[in-house]
Structure 1
């Protein structure tokens, strides 16, 4: 009996290290699914995929870490996925044990960067010029929850390729920033992932982005949206890290930008896989993290389905 108790105690102590992190398991572009490789098989990936394979499910720590770009030691995928301006790209994230994504607090951001005249399987993104096409944070209809919780519940998050995107070769970078440890500098956890695309000709007017950033370079560990000492108390006007939404997102013939070169609208074009797709507009109301979410933090983000 005593040995049984010791066994379960040891198993419980190991759960956070096994389940508390994860990776991009698949992307679906207009319904066509591309699976990603599990980082556990980094040395010998079993799938040909457009998703760049990282070498660990562990988060990137530190906003200036070189791995903030496309993930830890990310290696180019063997495939290029086809998309068009206006295509819907659904991102499905998995926990390290192939269960649901384990975190539920923090923003989800999406960027594009051109690979120039080469296909993206041959592109080095070290100095890529990234422009943001989407950002989602807390839900306006339920301010105690973040859109990241949809991933926690086993759903995907869908982003639309802006209709004004110039045709060409692109990396699409989907990034989760988990904020459950963000009360101190360096506590935020970054989970970036890059997928290789070939964007064809659409019906919109092609517009070049007016503002791009380097990654790393766009974030600091003390940015208001990365260092959040009051993350488990009401958060007033959460500030997304990085640049504003690119002018390409809302372009209709010509780009209209504000004085900082960011788009004048911050409306997101994300949806979820749930039947009722919530509106993803940036909320400017006070936010409150629920007691339930705080309790989950105390349990080190172990999903409810584990118990």
Structure 2
């Protein structure tokens, strides 16, 4: 009986742990849906599901901004932290919207939602950006003037779906989208902020020719321990929140 009770307790603890954080579980491009990488089932499914989101080890965060883990929260093929490519990509037209469905997000994990893109030099299903400065920001949402946070208040109001627009004049090609929530509930000192990035592989279509030539950043590199918005007390700070990273690239609008 004791062993059964212990097993039940561990199961409950595991379920609580799984619910404590989150990740993107579905990507919608128009009426087409792509199931996200599911860390608690995909590794044990045969044949391995074909995903457009690069593998992540679980629903937990990255807290050290100096690690390659901050890029995609994933693993390389050999099991070392990094960005292991996914086998397929989604096709999306420049100027169209992508809807990213998060698992239920804890209401205590206040913070911004930030989206970057990087153009793959060739096949995105084989490309690893490494520490090159190739990322440009295409969307961001932080704290509204009335104090509502993107990752809790606004995400909950939209039923856990965050929508952003592929820049309308962006040059056609294959891209890696880096989408993240930064949870600030313990960010009053560094390390404390929790980063939840996902990397999504896409092929952008259209006749656009625009590409950014400045404001490109690397991961790791874009954030440091002293970057504004990384160490931030959400409980006592009533001022505007400084979203970390470069300005949103507007050349594709």
TM-score, reference length from structure 2:
0.84
Q: CA deviation at 1:126?
A: 1.1
SS in structure 1 at match of 2:25: strand
Aligned length in residues = 236
Q: CA deviation at 1:222?
A: 2.4
Contact map agreement 1:53 1:77 (CA 8 A) in 2? yes
SS in structure 2 at match of 1:193: strand
What is the alpha-carbon distance in structure 2 between the residues aligned to residue 7 and residue 78 of structure 1? 36
Counterpart position of 1:109:
114
Q: 1:80 to 1:222 in 2, by over 3 A?
A: same
Counterpart position of 1:242:
245
Contact map agreement 2:66 2:221 (CA 8 A) in 1? yes
1:121 aligns with 2:125: yes
What is the alpha-carbon distance in structure 2 between the residues aligned to residue 219 and residue 16 of structure 1? 30
Structure showing greater radius of gyration is 1
Counterpart position of 1:66:
68
Contact map agreement 2:172 2:209 (CA 8 A) in 1? no
Q: CA deviation at 1:206?
A: 2.6
Q: CA deviation at 1:78?
A: 1.4
TM-score, reference length from structure 1:
0.70
What is the alpha-carbon distance in structure 2 between the residues aligned to residue 7 and residue 71 of structure 1? 30
Any idea what the Cα deviations from partners look like across 1:244-287, whole Å, max 9, x if unmatched?
1124244xxxxxxxxxxxxxxxxxxxxxxxxxxxxxxxxxxxxx
Counterpart position of 1:43:
43
What is the alpha-carbon distance in structure 2 between the residues aligned to residue 231 and residue 216 of structure 1? 24
Counterpart position of 2:150:
147
Q: Aligned runs of 1:1-307 on 2, under 5 Å?
A: 17-41=17-41, 43-44=43-44, 46-73=48-75, 74-94=83-103, 100-103=104-107, 104-116=109-121, 118-128=122-132, 129-140=134-145, 142-143=146-147, 145-149=148-152, 150-152=154-156, 154-202=159-207, 204=208, 206-228=210-232, 230-250=233-253
What is the alpha-carbon distance in structure 2 between the residues aligned to residue 152 and residue 40 of structure 1? 23
SS in structure 1 at match of 2:180: strand
What is the alpha-carbon distance in structure 2 between the residues aligned to residue 78 and residue 12 of structure 1? 34
What is the alpha-carbon distance in structure 1 between the residues aligned to residue 88 and residue 10 of structure 2? 41
What is the alpha-carbon distance in structure 2 between the residues aligned to residue 234 and residue 7 of structure 1? 43
Contact map agreement 1:131 1:209 (CA 8 A) in 2? no
Counterpart position of 1:260:
none
What is the alpha-carbon distance in structure 1 between the residues aligned to residue 173 and residue 8 of structure 2? 53
Counterpart position of 1:262:
none
Any idea what the Cα deviations from partners look like across 1:102-124, whole Å, max 9, x if unmatched?
254001000000111x2211101
Any idea what the Cα deviations from partners look like across 1:59-108, whole Å, max 9, x if unmatched?
011111210111131432111110111010111111xxxxx122540010
What is the alpha-carbon distance in structure 1 between the residues aligned to residue 131 and residue 220 of structure 2? 9
